[in-house]
Amino acid sequence: MSAGWMRRGRSGSGGGRIRLGRVGRRRVQTIVMTLSVLMAVASAVVAGSLMASASAPFDTAFARQHGAQLTAQFDEGRATAEQIAATGRLAGVTASSGPYQVAQIDPPGPDGADLQQTETVVGRATAGGGVDDVTLRSGRWASKPGEIVLSTDANSVGPDTRLGTTLKTSGAAGSPTLTVVGLASSVTDSADGWVVPAEIDALRTAGAATSAQMLYRFSSAATTAEVNADRAAIAAALPKGAMVSAQSYLDVKLAADENTALFVPVMLAFGVLGLLMSVIIIASVVSGAVGAQIRRIGILKSIGLTPGQVVRAYLAQALIPSSVGAVIGVVLGNVLAMPLMGDTAQMYGGSASAVTWWIDLAVPAAALVLVAVAALVPALRAGRLRTVEALAVGRAPRTGRGRWAQRLAARLPLPRAVTLGLAAPFARPVRSAALLAAVVFGTTAATFAIGLTSSASAVTTARHPQGSIPVSVFLGGDGPAPVAAGGSAPAQADPAKVRAAILAQPGTAAAIGQSQGTVSVAGGTGTIRVRLYQGPSSAEAFALISGRWFHGPGEIVVPTHFLTTTGTKVGDTVTLVDQGVQVPVRIVGEDFDPGNAGLTINTDMATLAGAQPGLHPVFYDVVLKPGTEVAAYTSGLRTALQSSGVQVEANETEHVSPVVVAFDAMSVLLTLMLVSVAGLGVLNSVVLDTRERVHDLGVCKAVGMTPGQTVAQVLSSVVGAGLVGAALGVPIGLALHDYIIPVMMRTAGSGTPSQIEDVYGLLELVLLGVGGVAVAVCGAMLPAGWAAKARTATALRTE
């Protein structure tokens, strides 16, 4: 060894060349560290960006548009405009806008069919107003009578809606026609359209009650209880019954965040798993490098390297490839997160925003800090090694370590190559523990992801129970037409005769009549959609969280958010108000129905018969007997009902939600990333072990071990870690899934039905256990092949 080399070892620049040189020569370790940090950072960036995305778009848009925390509508027959305006000066009200005149219109659909859903049109001279500044998406604001700006969320807005198209305000002859001059959005969904104030009188139906809208912001409105208290204070300041309805911004936010809220806890779990796995693997890699290079450390110290230089050398071996992986991981995380964030931003009329800058900085910085901490312990161990001890020990493990395992393994009725492999991990317990941790994390990630994808599919099924209904019959003749508050459709057929004809058709198991309407809850927060059933409705009941499905009139089933908003629970009695008629009902079940902001009531149609004597179904869902061919049945039913003026349709029984597709794709992608990192961790451990035992392998080959036996020895050395890792990883994955799913459901404003949480089958659990062994074996395949190909003479000379 030349004096020049020794001088370079003592110099700072020489130390740098030593560090970089080791990174270059330890290719497997470098690749493992780079990829593990890359994937961990990518998954954490996706988790962090979606976490911000789930709330930031609404909150940002709400702040930018000065959104209304309460949108209230008043009956001007009970309170004057001056009295209504005075509520904006009540204690606790920090800003208000209005009163704006309101009219209800009933525009026909694009094909002329009656949508049967009235839309709220507000008279506003400008898009601004201090509260709820409406954002124009395209076109301009209405400037004269005959013009309207439509909300992008209005029922009458479809893919064919363009600026300059005309909109009839109802299907009646001679009804006013408005020209669409703009498309806009209100962050709090305060109206379906806006016209100039002078247009309102022309849009009101003769004899209809006049109403006005007020928009409020409060000093305290962060919770449902606070908003309800603010609403009650406003109602108390006016004559009784003056407040017709009131909508909280929290309900709008819940509906807007319903899809993205599902991603947050899941992606966060994946991000944490990735970071923890990267820390374990980095610590294993650096610790293995120290253990494998003890003799080299002794040589470096003998030529003058200080303990600090040794520590810096090994820290650099970890930080250089980890920095590269962190940079690439940030880029990959942004690429993966952008499509999901774009879907969220479009709901608020914005463009797809980039990942928040601080996430791109904080995640890689945190990852590198964790890497440095993980590498510091073995690096300090290398720095503290005594020169003489390091030179004397070299690569060999401590004398006697693992001998007991070799003696026990030798007693097993297995080939000697396999027993040698089974006992090998006990000679290096720290490295074997790191290998075991990699397998545990990989199995945990796979178990967790399989449960998540199954739960996501169960969520879709639970939200769309009608997806199993093969045939529907619509009485209006123009397609599905849900009924409005009045509850009746333009019936061109006798519902009773249609139902009798359906039941008489061969192959019919049941006919479920349905209608929809709106009611209010006495003491509640405005109108609530009610879904009305006639017949055996349990065939398409929503998944139950608690209680049971209703059995008859006077019983209702409601979602979790209804119970939260109204302060009720299963078993309580509430009073519905329909067209001024009070209908007491009992809550018998809590269902999983997060649509309509979690404010939908399910009940028997006869429940509202006292308020609406002429109430009848507007369509029938038909349940078929097993083995009935749908196409033939549909054709026969059309023939039987051809003179009734109804429409018979075969339904698609598959409901594939784009959100669920994205959810599944992201879960699968992140799982593959984490399992790959686990395999890399195994690969690194086995490579280090094989290199250290290369002389022993040469001796074995010299006494007759074949290449196949060498492969068996190397692979059997990881089988034990695979079995134990699977035994630990599968239960941990199950526990993580059972913790995350309720959190995910609570984030979406709902409880958790059992069919969404209990998704694992025995076969899946067995396959996952086998998968843990597969991860370990696949990670060891390459070094096993290298060991088998090593020439005996070369292996013997290596030591």
SS (H, E, C) 400-459: CCCHHHHHHHHCCCCCHHHHHHHHHHHHCHHHHHHHHHHHHHHHHHHHHHHHHHHHHHHH
Whether residue 368 lies inside any domain: the answer is yes
**Mean pLDDT of all residues belonging to the chain:** 74
Alpha carbon distance 717, 427 (integer Å): 11
Q: Are residues 664 and 641 in the same domain?
A: no
pLDDT at 575: 85
Indicate if the pLDDT at residue 573 is higher than 80: yes
- Residue 623: which domain range? 466-650
Is there a domain that residue 472 lies in?
Answer: yes
The pLDDT of residue 21: 43
Task: From 707, 642, 749, select the one nearest 259 (Cα to Cα).
Answer: 749
For residue 766, the model assigns a pLDDT of 86
Q: Which of 52-61, 198-207, 530-539, 772-781 has the lowest mean pLDDT?
A: 52-61
Q: Are residues 268 and 369 in the same domain?
A: yes
Question: Among candidates 342, 64, 98, 49, which has minimal Cα distance to 188?
Answer: 64
Contact indicator for 730, 772 with CB cutoff of 8 Å = yes
- The mean-pLDDT minimum among 21-25, 243-247, 332-336, 385-389 falls in 21-25
What is the model's pLDDT at position 511? 85
Phi-psi region of 688 (alpha: psi -120 to 50; beta: other; left: phi over 0): alpha
Q: Are residues 349 and 379 in the same domain?
A: yes
Q: Specify the higher pLDDT residue, 742 or 173.
A: 742
* pLDDT of res. 763: 84
Domain boundary residue among 352, 369, 394? 394
pLDDT digits (tens, 9 = 90+) for 88-118: 888 888 988 888 888 877 776 544 444 445 6
Contacts of 191 (CB under 8 A, 6+ apart): 102, 120, 121, 122, 151, 213
Whether 598 is covered by a domain: the verdict is: yes
> Which band of pLDDT confidence, cut at 50, 70 and 90, is reported for residue 19?
very low
The half-sphere exposure of 190 on its side-chain side, counting CA atoms within 13 A, is 37
The per-residue pLDDT for 479 is 35
- Asked whether residue 268 is domain-assigned, the answer is yes
- Answer yes or no: is pLDDT of 9 > 60: no
* pLDDT value at 384 more than 60: yes
Q: Name the strand (E) or helix (H) holding 193.
A: strand 193-195
The residue-averaged pLDDT of 33-46 equals 77
Estimate the share of the chain in helix, then strand, then coil, as percent rounded to the nearest 5. Answer: 55, 15, 30
Q: How far is CA 343 from CA 1, 96, 121, in A?
A: 64, 31, 28
DSSP for residue 223: S
Do residues 46 and 145 both lie within one domain?
no
What percent of the chain clears pLDDT 70, i.e. is strictly above it? 69
Q: List, in sequence order, every residue forming a beta bridge with 180; answer none if it has no partner.
A: 148
The encoded tokens of residue 158 equal: 């479809």
Q: pLDDT: is 477 or 49 the higher one? A: 49
Q: Reply yes or no on whether the pLDDT at 492 is more than 70.
A: no
Structural domain contains residue 244: no
> What letter would DSSP give residue 654?
-
Pair (722, 774) in one structural domain: yes
Residue 248 has pLDDT above 80, yes or no: yes
Q: How far apart are CA 336 and CA 333, in angstroms?
A: 5
Compute the distance between CA of residue 507 and CA of residue 625 in angstroms, rounded to an integer. 5
Q: Is 546 found in the same domain as 448?
A: no
Largest interatomic CA distance in the chain: 107
State percent of the chain over pLDDT 90: 1
pLDDT-wise least confident of 215-219, 277-281, 315-319, 583-587: 277-281
**Most confident of the following: 193-197, 645-649, 788-792:** 193-197
Q: Is residue 295 a contact partner of residue 395, using CB atoms and an 8 Å limit? A: yes
> What gap in Å lies between CA 40 and CA 732, rounded to an integer?
19
Helices (H), 54-138: 56-64, 81-86
User: Cβ(560)–Cβ(617) under 8 Å?
Assistant: no
Residues 417 and 529 in one domain: no
| 78 and 170 together in one domain | yes
pLDDT, tens digit (0-9, with 9 covering 90-100), for 272-301: 666 676 666 666 666 665 555 666 667 777
83 domain-assigned: yes
Identify the pLDDT of residue 488: 39
Assess whether 216 and 263 both reside in one domain: no
Same domain assignment for residues 43 and 165: no
Q: Which residues make beta-bridge pairs with 601?
A: 530
Q: Alpha carbon of 127 to those of 149, 320, 462: distances in Å? A: 10, 54, 40
Q: Dihedral through CA 465, CA 466, CA 470, CA 472, nearest 10?
A: 170
pLDDT of residue 672: 74
- Which of the pair, 380 or 26, is modelled with greater confidence? 380
Instruction: Please write the tens of the pLDDT for every residue from 423-435.
Output: 777 777 766 777 7
What are residue 647's DSSP bridge partners?
A: 474
List the structure tokens of 495. Answer: 């519902």
Which of 165, 197, 223 delimits the end of a domain?
223
Phi–psi pair at 237, nearest 5 degrees: -80, -5
Place 174 in a pLDDT band, splitting at 50, 70 and 90. Answer: low
Query: Cβ distance 712 to 788 under 8 Å?
Result: no
Contact call for residues 435 and 678 (beta carbons, < 8 A): no
Residue 560 has pLDDT above 70, yes or no: yes
Query: What does the block give as tokens for 236?
Result: 């108390």
Q: How far is CA 95 from CA 128, 162, 214, 216, 295, in A?
A: 13, 34, 11, 6, 75
Q: Give how many domains the chain has, as a whole number.
A: 4
DSSP assignment of 200-217, as one string?
HHHHSPTTPPPEEEEEEE
Strands 177-185 and 147-151: parallel
Is residue 336 domain-shared with residue 415, that is, in the same domain? Answer: no
User: What kind and span of H or E run contains 361?
Assistant: helix 357-384
CA atoms within 13 A on the CB side of 723: 6
Please indicate, yes or no, if residue 446 is contained in any of the structural domains. yes
SS3 557: strand
Query: How far does Cα 729 stand from its chain's mean position?
Result: 23
Cα separation, 516 vs 512, whole angstroms: 13
pTM here is 0.62
- pLDDT of 155: 58
- Regarding whether 207 and 94 lie in a shared domain, the answer is yes
pLDDT the model gives residue 601: 87
Where among 608, 632, 650 does a domain terminate? 650
Per-residue pLDDT averaged across 764-785, rounded? 78
243 within some domain: no
User: The tokens 């196949």 sit on which residue?
Assistant: 708
Q: Assess whether the previous peptide bond of 99 is cis (omega < 30° from 0).
A: yes
Question: CA Rg, the chain, in Å?
Answer: 35
